Amino acid sequence: MTTSTTEATILKQIETNTVLLYMKGVPDKPECGFSAKAVAALNATGVPYAYVNVLQAPFIREKLPKISHWPTYPQLFVSGELVGGADIVEEMSNAGTLKPLLETAQND
């Protein structure tokens, strides 16, 4: 897979999924504590979301930080914009701002 193909794949994923989590593992079995925190916060909202397991997609795992300018995983995108990683998602969940953001995005 070439860099341009990988970049195009990532950009298409971000564009076509309103709520998208790039994570290590899958929602039913996160493979790192940070991904588990993000999944827990997202699941608590009840809003559906897509995910990409970067452990199964090494080209995406390598390229996404260059596109998003975010070095770590997980990475949550909403309406094509990077929201942040596990700590930000958890803070938003605790502050009550995550669910309204996701619901608004789903309704746009």
Predicted confidence (pLDDT) per residue in 24-57, tens digit: 999 999 999 999 999 999 999 999 999 999 999 9
Task: With respect to residue 32, please indicate whether it lies within any of the assigned structural domains.
Answer: yes
On the 0-12 / 13-18 / 19+ scale of CB atoms within 10 A, 83 is buried
Residue 107 lies in a domain: no
Residue 108 in any domain: the answer is no
pLDDT (average), residues 67-91: 97
Please report, rounded to a whole number, the percentage of residues in the chain having pLDDT higher than 90.
94
Residue 85 domain boundaries: 3-99
Average pLDDT score over the chain: 95
Cα separation, 53 vs 55, in Å, equals 5
